[in-house]
Amino acid sequence: MKEKNAPDVKTFFTVWLALMLLLILTVASTYLPIGHFHVVANIGIAAVKMLLVILFFMHIWYRRSLIRFVSFTAFFWIILLLGLTLVDYLTRPIITPPW
């Protein structure tokens, strides 16, 4: 998206700092009593970290559409895999109709 090819050193250190803060956040969140939201929070923070690494360390922010499309295909495929698998496993318990 930008005119230049790759980020500068300042951007690298900023992204690294953000990754460290997210790591501290995700470890600290295990000590909060939020029950089932632990999974949501942890996966959510991991997804943000992954996005930061992909966009800036792997330069996807600075690449044209073809490379970006190929790189996001991976996540689209994994979402498809996990989504359809969960559709099966989450609906296995017999759900009786209310009548």
Q: How far apart are the C-alpha atoms of 23 and 43, rounded to whole Å?
A: 12
Query: Side chain identity at 1, as an amino acid letter?
Result: M
Rounded Cα distance, 39 and 34, in Å:
10
Q: Is residue 12 a contact residue for other proteins (CB under 8 A)?
A: yes
Q: Is 70 in the site for other proteins (CB under 8 A)?
A: yes
55: contact with other proteins by CB under 8 A = no
Residue 1 touching other proteins (CB under 8 A): no
CB 31 within 8 A of CB 24: no
21: contact with other proteins by CB under 8 A: no
For residue 67 the two structure tokens come to 């490379």
d(CA 71, CA 55): 10
Would you tell me which residues interact with other proteins (CB under 8 A)? 5-9, 12-13, 15-16, 19-20, 23, 26-27, 29-30, 38, 42-43, 45-46, 49-50, 53-54, 56-59, 63-64, 66-67, 70-71, 73-74, 77-78, 81-82, 85-86, 89-90
